[in-house]
Amino acid sequence: MIHDFVYDIPVKVYFGTEQLKNLGPELRKYGTRVLMTYGGGSIKRIGLYDRVVKEIRDAGLELYELSGIEPNPRVASVREGARLCKEHRIDVLLAVGGGSTIDATKWIAAAACVDHDAWDFFDYKIWAPVEKALPVLDILTLSATGSEMDSGGVISNPDTRDKHGRMHPLLLPKVSFLDPSTTFSVSAYQTACGSADMLSHIIEVYFNMDQDLYMLDCVMEGLMKTIIKYTPVAIREPDNYEARANLMWASSWAINGFVDGGKQQAWSCHPMEHELSAVYDITHGLGLAILTPRWMKYCLDESTVSKYVQFGVNVLGISPEKAPMDIANEAIERFASVLFDSFGLQRTFPEVGIDESHFDSMAEKAVQGGAIDGFRTLKKEDVLNIFQMCMK
């Protein structure tokens, strides 16, 4: 069944190498007092920091800064950002970085407008409403999470070992600047993790037994082919603009909501991975890469095999002549090879330092909102089984 849906993505995107001249005018639409947020020193190393500061100063805007936003951003950064917004009566936020920086900045924008603690937005018992948020603009420097074009953000709370994502339309960036050349300096490893994340965003939607829009399946197949084709190119030739541009634009469209028009299925690997990286602080995309092929294997049976066949034939180029179950198994193997051979990511939990000691509590938390009602329904036991499959 094709469900009704609303498509509403009013994010304006400046794509390309010569777009920063539009930054000042775009910021100025929302006010004069700008809080720029970023992570470590990478934006300084590539010269982006200086270019951005110059544009802001040339536009006559007042600049404040919050640096040190971490990968898997923490609620402490959100609190600090909100404090700065209130103290300096900030009009508009500018996130410069990858998904972590943008995610944190979205929630700073919301937390700046309320008196309660920032974690109240994520505590399942409180789930404070989002009724207002400062405008957020961003300059993306990593192709991965799609945060530049969606309304969500994932925040970690190390004290409680929680990591929760939440979406709200008020958190959609007003404007995103996507310059593929800012990702030339992204390491092979981070490039691979980003691409694994993008592929997972698509797979979470694509693996669906609902009879839905064929057109969107075709679009998803095109995005997956793009990511599979260009990730090894970007790893081999970090400053290949064509590869970086394709990966960057694909990252946005993998998750901005377009491809899941009419689909209502919950995600599977992301909730499992969030518990992993909440405990182990591994890179989100790496956790997804290890989990996804196992999850695929776990969910395969006669009732789901047709989707694997579609995936294998249309995305991985497997001949449609073979038996469906053979195509499905080959598709899982080839996909694992994409992640572990072509992208060069680590293959098992032990390789990344994860043992069984937290399996039980992680699985418990992954289903604390109820069983994962995705491609296949996953209860705690299923999650434990999939974790176990990742051990070798």
Distance of alpha carbon 300 from alpha carbon 278, whole angstroms: 28
The sign of the torsion formed by the CA atoms of 115, 116, 119, 122 equals negative
| Segment contacting a second copy by CB under 8 A, of 60-68, 213-221, 294-302, 378-386 | 213-221
Q: Give yes or no for residue 15 binding a second copy (CB under 8 A).
A: yes
Per DSSP, 259 falls in state: T
For residues 56 and 32, the answer to whether their CB atoms sit within 8 Å is: no
Q: Which residues, at least 6 apart from 125, have a Cβ–Cβ distance to it below 8 Å?
A: none
Out of 57, 88, 229, 236, which residue is the one contacting a second copy (CB under 8 A)? Answer: 229
Radius of gyration of the chain (CA): 21
d(CA 237, CA 197): 20
Q: Does 189 bind a second copy (CB under 8 A)?
A: no
Backbone dihedral angles phi then psi of residue 38, each to the nearest 5 degrees: -160, 175
Query: Which member of 77, 200, 226, 231 binds a second copy (CB under 8 A)?
Result: 226
Instruction: Note whether 2 binds a second copy by CB under 8 A.
Output: yes
Please answer whether residues 185 and 244 qualify as being in contact, where contact means their C-beta atoms are separated by less than 8 angstroms.
Answer: no
The 8-class DSSP code of residue 2 comes to -
Q: What is the dihedral of CA 334, 335, 338, 344, to 10 degrees?
A: -110
Does position 221 bind a second copy by CB under 8 A? yes
Q: Which of 48, 155, 245, 282 binds a second copy (CB under 8 A)?
A: 245
Residue 16 or 238: which CB sits closer to a second copy? 16
Of 121, 122, 249, 359, which lies in the binding site for a second copy, with binding defined by CB under 8 A? Answer: 249
Count residues contacting a second copy (CB under 8 A)? Answer: 41
Smaller CB separation from a second copy, 165 or 222:
222
Report CA-CA distances (Å) from 369 to 157, 243, 316, 365.
17, 39, 35, 8
Angle at 292 between CA 290 and CA 293, to 5 degrees: 85
- 263 is a site residue for a second copy (CB under 8 A): no
Binding part of the chain for a second copy, among 33-41, 117-125, 192-200, 217-225 by CB under 8 A, reads 217-225
Sign of the torsion angle spanned by Cα atoms 170, 73, 145, 44: positive
Stretch that binds a second copy, among 99-107, 248-256, 304-312, 358-366 (CB under 8 A): 248-256
Q: Cβ of residue 9: shortest distance to a second copy, in angstroms? A: 8
**Per CB under 8 A, which region of 37-45, 104-112, 242-250, 370-378 contacts a second copy?**
242-250
Nearest CA to 205 out of 148, 283, 290, 268 is that of: 268
Residue with smaller CB distance to a second copy, 90 or 216: 216
Question: At closest approach, how far in Å is the CB of 290 from a second copy?
Answer: 26
The reply on whether position 214 binds a second copy by CB under 8 A is: yes
Measured from the CB of residue 145, what is the shortest distance to a second copy in angstroms? Answer: 17
Six-digit token pair at 344?
Answer: 């060069």
Q: Which stretch binds a second copy (CB under 8 A): 9-17, 284-292, 332-340, 350-358?
A: 9-17
Assigned token pair, 115: 């008196």
Using rule CB under 8 A, residue 17 touches a second copy: yes
Least Å distance between CB 239 and a second copy?
A: 14
**Strand pairing report for 372-373 and 152-157:** unpaired
Shorter beta-carbon distance to a second copy: residue 77 or 252: 252
Q: What secondary structure, in 3-state letters, does 116-145 show?
A: CCHHHHCCCCCCCCCCCCCCEEEEECCCCC
Query: What's the closest the beta carbon of residue 4 comes to a second copy, in angstroms?
Result: 3
Q: Is 47 exposed, middle or buried (0-12, 13-18, 19+ CB in 10 A)?
A: exposed
Residue 217 CB, nearest approach to a second copy (Å) = 8
State which of positions 329-358 bind a second copy (CB under 8 A): none
Binding site for a second copy (CB under 8 A): 2-10, 12-19, 211, 213-219, 221-223, 225-226, 229-230, 241-242, 245-246, 249-250, 253, 261-262
